Structure 1
């Protein structure tokens, strides 16, 4: 029967008519030729499927990278120049900042390659190929295969396929499941770990609006930063070295100087993180009334404690800024998600969909035997999860949330090595070197007094909110030694821990012993947390998740069989996807209409020198007052951001927004408040992708950053033609001692043959 399901699914993907809304869906670029090209071309795409995704020849996919494993970036020059969001590069910018040379506050633009800043641990993954391996993974698996045997076979086969594709370490490869385990695709990447900071606007531009404007439209944030990827002289990935040379991408995105207008085609190409849009109503209910309220409550308190410390001094702010931004981002998201689900009456819609599914399944004996219990099994699994869900959330959002606790948790490999005593000198030295490197990074952003206060308050919330029967030995010292005084417990831990200061930690690493680590009060807490979780909580959750996985798989297979004329897109799972739509405003409420772009005038109107979120650089205000926009204006306006109805989620941050000719028009950096349901359900009316206009990026680089030498690396086009009118500032054009800079341009010839568009690119060089 499962073979039949797969055959039906394959037939659907190959030949069914397309019925999903054009602006909904995160599609695998491998499949756009089969599923999406006709609709995309009707909306304004002028590229062929091969120019979007091609294994043998250069295509758009070669310009897109996964940045650090959590964001997206794109190549914008033949010299490995990479564009991503400011908030994606935030940690690298903060790490390279000091109170004396504050890159976050003042911005930074490397004038020479030697000035570019290295970033330990930062990498980019560049896709080599993706491949449908469903037949290999599912061979011989049928309805009679037990779940345990199925899981074993799938794990063995996906690992074997990925290991073979790695080619003895040449590539990074993995296999991901799609449609809740009904299909499998393999992804093969090259990983480059020499990624250097090239430039960033000041935080007052890159994070303008701060937490107040986060997830909101209208928006005036210049959310971009710039890096360069390096490779070894022989063209291979390599760790940082002075001998490395800039990476030569197979394709880099030409930059449109034409501007955008409402109704223009837009494509977002990137690595969306995680969606669960096939989730049943019982799962949504748990998110709305249990998971999200708990996360909101805990993050709200964490942010308040950190904000108090950040307001006390600039040094504190630099230490905590990156962590604060990370926590705040999804604090606000969970709030918006709950409001959106209630507004859209999503639970009612799910109930109706599930009723229709059950009626369809029960109407046929074969279907009933295969799908009839899928929904009841899903509901039973979520009911079981609810009992242990808070324990799991409070483990990560409370017990391990303080910086010292997470740092202590990261010493687990050291503990295991000392306890087992089997590591040879080489293994021991390698581990210790990694821990020392981790220490150096950790203490740069560690503020003990704030962290101690956070530990005391979060653990008290854990004690009060998690069922007592699920506490384990976490609070043993609290009750026996400190008589329930959380502040005294925290003070003792933070004063006595061998990890409390960098000096103490380094002293321990110079002579590590099992006894010292076992008796460390911080490590004792995290060991108790983890032992309780792995012994009492995780097995229960795994039990319910196992039954849920099977039920979800059958439910999704049934849905696709029930609606054979509907093409379902797979949930996002951090693999390369594209979404397409149009530049479009919206009306969020009665009597309120949002146009599709914002301007520098709007940014200047928001200026508030007394509020750090709305401080505007004096030079930017001067340019706005004079309307000194150079070649970057559109009809006399300096546009800052625009919106499209593209389908995006977390991980799409930094994704290029590309027009119908394959040119870069913007940089995706946020979603809108009215559609925070996106991970769980798509909102066709309100969903918007918020993007910084690429011409604003160039304007800031040129007029404020004096970074014309970087602009001259780029390929600038106007309506598909080389933009000969563009002339960036001559400020700081000297690069590596040379005044002569070669700038690639492209002549693009478009030919029509039937419904197919052919685009021929010829690269020439101009000398400035």
Structure 2
């Protein structure tokens, strides 16, 4: 087995490829020369330390990125990232989704939706040796998975002996390397400000993933802690958190060609997947997934039509489904546009030819490549089955029952032996998820959604379906399922988290009975998936070690695929030429007026339109444009999870928020193409202009040092 040092695997031995890469802080030294060449003016060494500014001002919301922008714990992120909290606090007659929300004072800031968290980065350290302790090549896949999980839990438990820390261990390069990410978990998160949807979601789904764009995609939370500075649940006595650093708002805005950098927590990319994995996803899985999302979205729209209360309850679910649907369509189009299948096949052929050209390399990596091919074929066969089974969890009371019963079964084990997500450290988040249902659930709508999900489930081959579930559902019937269940009541639902498994097995609640019937099939499915995951880690880790050695032989460094951990990326503000048209790098206020129809999704607020027509730009106009810029394009390499990421200029100052990409560029999840890939940012000047001229958020402008 060939040995690669952690430094080599993280790219410190070779120069970087310009533009591409979501880089770990520890990789900053290897790309310092390119950062300077591209125009950074702070010391690149600062980016190597997540404990120091500017990276320690970057935060995670557990799905979106964010950043501190004041010494009083004020956090800025995207409008669509605070949308769930806006929805949760809305109701007929108090429609913050439509009207927006602005707290006049600290006392008026309202709690975010249950489960809202701010995670403050504290450390990101290599734990590869601890994670691979006890692994042997002779282990079964399941045994390997269980050993890795045991090692992971031990590391997390040790890390979380520190109060209010949330720790996780993530795999890089297919499990060739592991890092532990340590974050302070702030539990009291309050909604401070979100503009009206006619600003924050201007253009709606029509403009989503499109250019030109005129969307004010920003919102603000505030982090609160106990008076002694410790993380604590919501209390009226809590005080604003004081971060170790916060981002300075740039006095000077950006121009075409300027250096920009984005820091955040990108979700998942698949650039190091095999050619066969890419082929299956784009020929089979994504077309099915697109229809899967479209049918779900259509079901929500149909079920909530004419009912404003239900529409508010399901607004967040609908927006998420529509966003993923459009993203998937873009990836399908992008794969064809760049010839992804041929590109991946050629890259893989060159790598495997390099392996075959040397007996030592063949001995080191050849068996892993062959094993990985077999595992990929096995995994592909299961993907569509798992997708269609997942539709059942759209029925919120069924998911609640399954979650509670699994907690009961897991509590029969010692805490360290429980599955991830069902340990004592996870209980509070589970309670909050189950609590959220009360404002995101309507029994009539839920039943319609379940009926549609059962149609998806029926597409699974009979031998892959759960006969016990089907028999129990037939016995109960949909009418009794909803009429007889008490899980729609929050107190009743939460109480089940403390009951033993025997209480579930004796229950006459129909959703509980379904959950119990599904348990044996769920256990079997999990064990099969874990065995596959263990075998995949063994083969893929060796395969990726070979790929890193191959890249190093060519003088290249490669960033690991995104996995939700802290990364930074950099590029330039620039437009793009397309056949028959040219995309300028900035849009402006005038485009809002040109698009406006007075009807959703192009219904800008009257006060905003008046300020634009009066050319009341204040100090926020860009000299080169003669007006206020709204959104801009850049070449930074980003993906989902980067939403809400701070955009920094060459001096490390805040100049906007990353919120989207163009539809042609979403294929970069699989293959980065600098010609077509563009990220979309909301310009800080547009954000600040609205805050002053439209929404009157002077309190926040003063706090951020703008006024």
Query: Same fold judged by TM-score > 0.5?
Result: yes
TM-fit CA distance, 1:435: 8.0
Contact 1:585–1:594 (CA under 8 A) maintained in structure 2: yes
3-state SS of the aligned residue for 1:191?
A: strand
**Contact preservation (8 Å) 2:78, 2:659:** yes
**Cα deviation, residue 466, structure 1:** 0.7
Distance in 2 (alpha carbons) for counterparts of 1:436 and 1:19: 44
Cα deviation per residue 1:531-559 (whole Å; 9 max; x = unaligned)? 32432x44444444333322221221111
- The aligned counterpart of 2:564 is 574
Q: Secondary structure at the match of 1:98?
A: coil
Deviation (angstroms), 1:600: 1.6
Shift of residue 390, structure 1, vs aligned partner? 1.8
User: Structure 2: how far apart are the matches of 1:504 and 1:182?
Assistant: 45
> Are the structure 2 counterparts of residues 185 and 615 from structure 1 closer, same or farther at C-alpha, using a change threshold of 3 Å?
same
The offset of 1:64, in angstroms, is 0.6
SS in 2 for 1:570: coil
Alpha-carbon contact 1:175-1:187 (below 8 Å) kept: yes
Which residues of 2 match residues 343-382 of structure 1 at below 5 A? 343-382=337-376
- 2:449 aligns with one of 419, 438, 454: 454
Alignment of 1:18-37 (within 5 A): 18-20=15-17, 22-32=18-28, 34-37=29-32
Q: Secondary structure at the match of 1:82?
A: strand
Give the distance between the partners of 2:632 and 2:665, measured in 1 at CA: 16
Quote the residue 2:314 is aligned against. Answer: 320
Structure 1 counterpart of 2:394, from 394, 401, 408: 401
Per the alignment, residue 547 of structure 1 pairs with: 535
Q: Per-residue CA shift, 1:452-495, capped at 9, x if unaligned?
A: 112112212321x211111122563489659xxxxxx4334222
1:9-65 per-position Cα deviation (integer Å, ceiling 9, x unaligned): 634757533141x22101111330x21111111111111134334467x41012111
Which digits, 9 at most, give the CA deviation of each residue in 1:303-323, with x for residues without a partner?
A: 112112444132222111111
| 2: CA distance, partners of 1:378 / 1:508 | 42
User: Residues 490 and 343 of structure 1: is their aligned pair in 2 closer, same or farther, counting only changes over 3 Å?
Assistant: farther
How far apart are residue 162 of structure 1 and its match? 3.4
| Structure 1 residues 669 and 432: CA distance shift in structure 2, 3 A | closer
- Determine if contact 1:110/1:116 at 8 Å carries over to the other structure: yes
CA shift digits 1:102-133 (9 cap, x unpaired): 21111121111100111232111111122223
Aligned residue pairs: how many? 693
What is the aligned counterpart of 1:92 among 85, 107, 116?
A: 85
Structure 2 residue 589 is the aligned partner of structure 1 residue 600: yes
Deviates more, 1:518-527 or 1:210-219: 518-527
Deviations 1:374-415 (A, max 9, x none): 33322222222233222211111x211223322332332565
Q: What is the distance in 1 between the residues matched to 2:387 and 2:120?
A: 33
CA distance in 2, matches of 1:508, 1:170: 26
The answer to whether the 8 Å contact 2:19/2:635 transfers is: yes
**In the TM superposition, what whole-angstrom CA distance separates every residue of 1:542-585 from its partner, at most 9, and x where no partner exists?**
44433332222122111111232211111111111000001011
1:169 Cα shift?
Answer: 3.3
1:288 aligns with 2:282: yes
- Unpaired runs of 5+ in structure 1? 483-488, 717-727, 729-768
Structure 1 position 696, deviation (Å): 0.9
Work out the CA distance in 1 between the residues paired with 2:652 and 2:125: 24
Whether 2:68 is the aligned partner of 1:75: answer yes
8 A contact 2:214–2:591 mirrored in 1:
yes
Whether the aligned pair in 2 keeps the contact of 1:415 and 1:517 (CA below 8 Å) is no
Corresponding position: 1:711 with 2:695: no
- Identify the match of residue 187 of structure 2 among 184, 193, 207: 193
- C-alpha displacement of 1:75: 0.8
Aligned partners of 1:510 and 1:540: how far apart in 2?
29
Q: Which residue of 2 aligns with 1:625?
A: 613
Match of 1:340 among 334, 339, 348: 334
Assess, with a 3 A threshold, how the Cα gap between structure 1 residues 478 and 143 changes in structure 2: closer, same or farther: closer
CA contact (8 A) 1:286 1:386 kept: yes
Matching residue of 1:243: 237
Q: Secondary structure at the match of 2:669?
A: coil
Partner of 2:4: 6
Is structure 2 residue 207 aligned with structure 1 residue 213?
yes
Q: CA deviation at 1:331?
A: 1.6
Tell me the residue number matched to 1:667.
657
Q: Which whole-Å deviations, capped at 9, do the CAs of 1:574-621 have from their partners, x for residues lacking one?
A: 11100000101112x4112111111121122222233x2222111111
Residues 517 and 321 of structure 1: CA distance in aligned 2, closer, same or farther (over 3 Å): farther
Larger radius of gyration: 1
8 A contact 1:85–1:654 mirrored in 2: yes
CA distance in 2, matches of 1:327, 1:290: 19
CA distance 1:95–1:314, change in 2 (3 Å): same
Q: In the alignment, is the contact (CA less than 8 A) between 1:268 and 1:578 conserved in 2?
A: yes
TM-score when normalising by structure 2: 0.91
* CA distance, structure 2, for counterparts of residue 386 and residue 108 of structure 1: 45
Please state whether the residue corresponding to 1:648 is helix, strand or coil: coil
Distance, in Å, in 2 between the alignment partners of 1:508 and 1:146 is 36
Could you tell me which runs of 5 or more consecutive residues in structure 2 were left unpaired when the two chains were aligned. 416-421
Q: Quick check: 1:607–1:616 contact (8 Å CA) kept in 2?
A: yes
